[in-house]
Amino acid sequence: MNTGPCLLLVHSQDQHPGARHDGRHAPTTLDEWLAGLNLSCYTDKFLLNGWDSLLYLTELKQEDLRNIGIDVPEHQKVILSSVKDLNQV
């Protein structure tokens, strides 16, 4: 399991690596999506709580993130913003 700390490296407030869906590359797996957000350390938390497919993320809410142990507000914001982007594809 990945138990190391998550370090979020975001280049701008509105642009998250890996969250872009401009035709060049869209993530197809949970691992790929979280890696693109620089939040791979949360992969095990998602998987252990049944969030094992990008298809399920359409219903993901902030409360769900807290319930699975993602408590850092900045990380929650990046994840939820990217989920919104995924839903628009």
Show the domains of the chain with their CATH numbers. Answer: 30-87 (1.10.150.50)
Alpha carbon distance 59, 14 (integer Å): 21
Q: Smallest Cα–Cα separation from 66: which of 56, 75, 54, 58? A: 75
pLDDT for the residue numbered 25: 76
What digits encode the pLDDT tens for the residues 63-73?
Answer: 999 999 999 99
- Amino acid letter, residue 58: T
Look over the chain and give the mean of its residue pLDDT values, rounded to a whole number: 83
Distance of CA 29 to the CA centre of its chain: 11
Residue 43 β-bridge partners: none
Residue with tokens 């993901």: 60
pLDDT tens, position by position, 24-70? 578 999 999 999 999 999 999 999 999 999 998 989 999 999 999 99
Specify the pLDDT at position 1. 46
